[in-house]
Amino acid sequence: MLHVETRHAIDPATARGFDTEALRRNFHLGDLFRDGEIRLVYTHYDRMIVGGAVPKGAALTLDQVKECGTPSILDRREMVIVNIGGTGQVRADDTYTLERGDMLYLGMGAGPVTFEGEGRFYILSAPAHAKHPSRLVRIDEAKKVELGARDTSNERVINQFIHPDVMPSCQLVVGMTQLAPGSVWNTMPAHVHDRRMEAYLYIDLDPTARVFHVMGEPSETRSMVIANEQGVLSPPWSIHCGAGTANYTFIWAMAGDNVDYRDVEMVGMEELR
């Protein structure tokens, strides 16, 4: 079963007037993983698609998505699939077995995508201008960057999977950041990158734990309370950072004008309101 929701782009002036309900309706990703379903959110932020697939004993195939305007979803797109569940299989141009934490890149033209097994599959897709080889990147093959410190409660490891230092892609850049026990802050000091949107998915949270995700213009910040396996759409004009009630993992994904996410505009703590 396929379910597709469309989210239109929101400008910063409009977002300033949102209450909690409107903020969550436009930016919160709260229902991506349902047993036996493929659920997608087609966004008007760089035409990024964010979604989930949970086979739960029966194969699920993702092929035509009306919103893409092509016979099959990967005819003019690339895709990254992250397994956040048990062992699962993905069939496209080949058959791939994904353990928890592995990421699969599928290049443009890889064909319909079938999900099987015990996996819980997080789906990311963006338009592509060239065909790059499909590749399975296991979590122990990701490039690891250690950042932060225990003193500032942000000791973490950034795992770069779909990244120029690891493999080529058209515009998708995807990684996974794991916070150490006792650390709760991510991406602080904050920054913006107006050339790219970003999507966050928070995982490895206990049922009663929450992340307070901060977004908005630096002078007009807003927050949303996020539970396990929920996410956030972060528009290009917005900061994106957060703090949890315990340590957690988050998957970050970007699409847009380039793949060099180091060209950010840092926001000083004194600028935040």
What pLDDT, in 10s, does the model give residues 220-256? Answer: 999 999 999 999 999 999 999 999 999 999 999 999 8
Least confident window among 22-26, 67-71, 179-183, 256-260: 256-260
| CA–CA–CA angle 203, 208, 212 (5° rounding) | 60
Quick one: which of 97, 115, 4 has its CA closest to 61?
115
**Which pLDDT belongs to residue 83?**
98
Does 8 appear as a known binding residue? no
Does 141 appear as a known binding residue? no
Q: Give 267's pLDDT tier (boundaries 50, 70, 90).
A: confident
Q: Give 169's pLDDT tier (boundaries 50, 70, 90).
A: very high
What Rg do the C-alpha atoms of the chain give, in angstroms? 18
Q: What average pLDDT does this structure show over 130-154?
A: 94
Q: What average pLDDT does this structure show over 172-186?
A: 95
Non-local (6+) Cβ contacts of 36 within 8 A are 1, 54, 55, 56, 58, 60
Domain count, the chain: 1
Report the alpha-carbon distance of residue 123 to residue 104 in Å, rounded.
Answer: 10
Please give the residue range of the domain that contains residue 32: 2-130+138-271
CATH code for the domain in which residue 244 is found: 2.60.120.10
Q: Are 213 and 250 in contact (CB under 8 A)?
A: no
pLDDT in tens, 73-90: 999 999 999 999 999 999
107 three-state secondary structure: coil
Conformation bin of residue 173: beta by default, left when phi > 0, alpha when psi is -120 to 50: beta
**Which pLDDT belongs to residue 261?**
65
User: Given 3-state DSSP classes, what are the helix, strand and coil percentages for the chain, each rounded to the nearest 5?
Assistant: 10, 45, 45
Does 193 appear as a known binding residue? yes
Least confident window among 23-27, 48-52, 164-168: 164-168
Q: What is the pTM for the complete model shown?
A: 0.96
150 three-state secondary structure: helix
Conformation bin of residue 267: beta by default, left when phi > 0, alpha when psi is -120 to 50: beta
pLDDT in tens, 14-41: 999 999 999 999 999 999 999 999 999 9
According to DSSP, the residues that pair with 266 across neighbouring strands are 191
Does 213 appear as a known binding residue? no
